[in-house]
């Protein structure tokens, strides 16, 4: 064994579990390569007590990993794709994505589905997108900010601090917490975050060794779907935490995408869809963004920009 690849990851249990999955794929495909996983603390991990809506910096879960990648301290970085900004730092790129896990949002509660929760129930969510869709479904429910690892969020339900929390099916399943899921929320009403359920493998431009490794583990259908979703988000000018949602799927040789944009208050929600050949994934995302811009999404995004600037 004369080759070595160092993969960077956040230090959370979920991040490490996800990264070890990618590391094992690389080991299986490259048996002569030593694969080492190293943990790096990000701003998002350091400021775990601050609500995401109050953090103005973008890329708070990836920046330190990208810095290490640019400095050559690591060879690859693994991220939850939904945390990766659409504008990449010069010299870096997403070279591969893993096969997408279940992209749906889920409800964790003491046994009641969302429709059956009592009037005025308290739901925890760290996502503006999720909060808005919960309120659209159940206007009487109070949605409160929440941070912490998956087990912390589940404990807040068990202890009665919340009647329920909304999370990602993929995260719970990867950690073995699927038995805590009470309800899988339908994508027709709860469109997920761009890239939700997918893992991004990021590398340095010009590093041929890691480029070949990434090519060998890339899941092409997922890559095509997230290309459309991220193109949609980029064309709207939205960040990872904006009230924007999208999900692309592939059927045969066609790609379908559904998208959503909301105002900050969640009182106005725009939805639309588009489709086309999988070869034009980027263009499909751009077309969908333009459809929503043509029907008023630009006003919502300007409002969001003002909200982020002034709090």
Active-site residue list? 83
Compute how many other C-beta atoms are within 10 angstroms of the C-beta atom of residue 119: 7
Contact indicator for 289, 235 with CB cutoff of 8 Å: yes
Provide φ and ψ at 73, rounded to 5°.
-75, -25
Q: How far apart are CA 223 and CA 230, in angstroms?
A: 10
Q: Which residues contact 38 (CB under 8 A, 6 or more apart)?
A: 6, 7, 8, 9, 74
Close Cβ partners of 131 (under 8 Å, ≥ 6 residues apart): 125, 143, 266
Q: How many CB atoms lie within 10 A of CB 45?
A: 16
Continuous segment of H or E residues that includes residue 204: strand 199-204
The DSSP result for 25-40, as a single string, is HHHHH-TTEEEEEEE-
């Amino acid at each position: 064994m004369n080759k070595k690849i160092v993969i960077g990851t956040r230090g959370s249990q979920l991040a490490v579990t996800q990264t070890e999955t990618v590391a094992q794929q690389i080991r299986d495909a490259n048996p002569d390569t030593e694969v080492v996983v190293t943990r790096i603390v990000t701003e998002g991990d350091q400021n775990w007590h601050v609500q995401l809506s109050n953090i103005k910096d973008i890329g708070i879960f990836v920046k330190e990993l990208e810095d290490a990648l640019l400095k050559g301290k690591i060879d690859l970085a693994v991220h939850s794709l939904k945390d990766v900004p659409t504008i990449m730092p010069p010299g870096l790129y997403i070279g591969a994505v893993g096969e997408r896990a279940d992209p749906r949002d889920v409800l964790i509660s003491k046994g009641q589905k969302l429709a059956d929760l009592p009037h005025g129930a308290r739901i925890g969510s760290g996502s503006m997108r999720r909060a808005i869709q919960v309120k659209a479904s159940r206007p009487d429910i109070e949605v409160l900010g929440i941070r912490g690892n998956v087990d912390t969020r589940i404990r807040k339900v068990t202890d009665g601090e919340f009647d329920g929390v909304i999370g990602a099916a993929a995260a719970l399943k990867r950690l073995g917490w699927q038995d805590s899921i009470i309800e899988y929320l339908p994508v027709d009403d709860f469109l997920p975050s761009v890239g939700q359920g997918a893992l991004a493998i990021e590398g340095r431009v010009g590093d041929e060794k890691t480029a070949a490794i990434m090519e060998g583990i890339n899941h092409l259908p997922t890559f095509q779907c997230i290309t459309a979703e991220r193109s949609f988000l980029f064309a709207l000018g939205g960040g990872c935490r904006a009230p924007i949602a999208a999900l692309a799927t592939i059927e045969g040789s066609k790609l379908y995408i559904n998208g959503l944009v909301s105002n900050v208050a969640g009182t106005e929600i725009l939805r639309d869809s588009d489709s086309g050949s999988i070869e034009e994934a980027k263009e499909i995302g751009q077309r969908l963004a333009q459809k929503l811009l043509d029907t008023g999404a630009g006003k919502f995004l300007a409002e969001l920009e003002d909200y982020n600037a002034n709090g």
